[in-house]
Homo-oligomer: A and B are copies of this chain.
Amino acid sequence: MTQAETPQSTDLAASEWLTDSNGHFALAIRHGGNRLFVEQSPYQTVEVFQTETFGKMLTIDSMVMCTEVDEAAYHEMIVHVPMQVHGDVRNVLVIGAGDGGTIRELMRYEQIERVTMVEIDDAVVRASKEFLPSISSAFGHPKLDLQIGDGIKFLQAAAAESYDLIVIDSSDPVGPSEGLFSEGFYRDVYRVLKTGGSLTVQSEGPMFNTSAFKDLNQCLKLVFGQDSVNCYLVFIPTYPTGMWSLTYCTKNGPHPVKALDEASTTAFTTSHPLRYYNIDVHRAAFCLPNHIKAMINE
């Protein structure tokens, strides 16, 4: 069939829609040509679009990083799950997370003394600061030490037992994020994490990047030990398949569900206007469907 005979194809014309595809499955979000920002950085193409129903949307190499409407699911779940089970996080390291949503959620905690954030691509930070003010609102925070640089090298050079919490908030394992999916990298993460500390990792869509999801789970179990790695799921409508995984790991620290304290978590959620996270959702996220358990031999 020629292009002229496929009327539906024009419905998703690249001039009107952002398409995030793995070649077999795609999601597409309509922006109607309303592109607010584009920059070809040394690492990737960074764009911001005004979408019709998801607010503004940040993309890297045509992969959706976040939208204003549903970003809270990801950022609240990658931060509040480890924070609610570890009562004394003071020193945090964040790798990636250039849009700023992760540090916004971290800064809700008075007890945190310092957040070091290492983002490789300044263009992501600039795009978010200019066009996504509700997500990038914590970039001026006095506790933040923002470093534009390579997270892999940063960890190699970092001292052992330095951080109570490490968050790996990377894009997908292509381009500059590829090294964030390797055993060597996680050996460094483990070394740099304090005993009793926690790690949360963006661990891909099980039904979209199945190999990356399985490989990363296996790698984390190798480094942290079988019983110290817990996968959890989040509904993210603007990520392909809508089913996204995060993974909680700990270096002899608290269990991500058993260590929850009902009273203190309820006090926290009552005093913060969260859009996704609540104590029931925290527990529920770790209840995996059988087919996801099977992928990671659980």
Contacts and interface: CB of A to CB of B under 8 A. Distances in A.
A29 B33 contact: no
A27 interface: yes
Interface residues of A, number: 59
Copy total for this chain:
2
Contacts of A284: 283-285, 287
A255 to B, nearest CB: 15
A208 B276 CA distance: 17
> Lowest 10 A-B CB distances belong to which pairs?
A242-B242, A284-B284, A8-B14, A237-B241, A284-B287, A280-B287, A1-B15, A6-B14, A235-B243, A207-B237
27 contacts: A1-B33, A5-B15, A6-B13, A6-B15, A8-B14, A9-B9, A9-B10, A9-B13, A9-B14, A9-B15, A19-B28, A25-B53, A25-B54, A26-B30, A27-B240, A28-B28, A70-B207, A72-B291, A235-B235, A237-B243, A241-B242, A242-B242, A242-B243, A274-B290, A276-B289, A278-B289, A281-B290
